[in-house]
Structure 1
């Protein structure tokens, strides 16, 4: 006899989850898309980025490269 306890697994599978989402989708409200207005860099104050994070982002390629 083993005292091993299996990890808790969901009782529903992926197919059930997708079915539930598809059934609920017509009830979800989709907000009207609001275009973001660009903000001049001179108006952005109080944002600090650690140098290591800035280097990491700078070293990343543009999306789609």
Structure 2
């Protein structure tokens, strides 16, 4: 359990979750993601990519 539980629950857990949500929000909306190199997924026992699914990330410009 990343933030503990019960009497020893982390007091900053909700703040940490909010910060992660804001970070992911900006990462998804303000950047363009492209697959850099062709990679085939295989599933056993979970989804995995032999090359690690390399990507390139480019910041989107909205006139700023």
Structure having the higher helix fraction is: 1
Kindly name which structure, 1 or 2, has the bigger radius of gyration based on alpha carbons: 1
Structure having the higher strand fraction is: 2
Q: TM-score under structure 1 normalisation?
A: 0.28
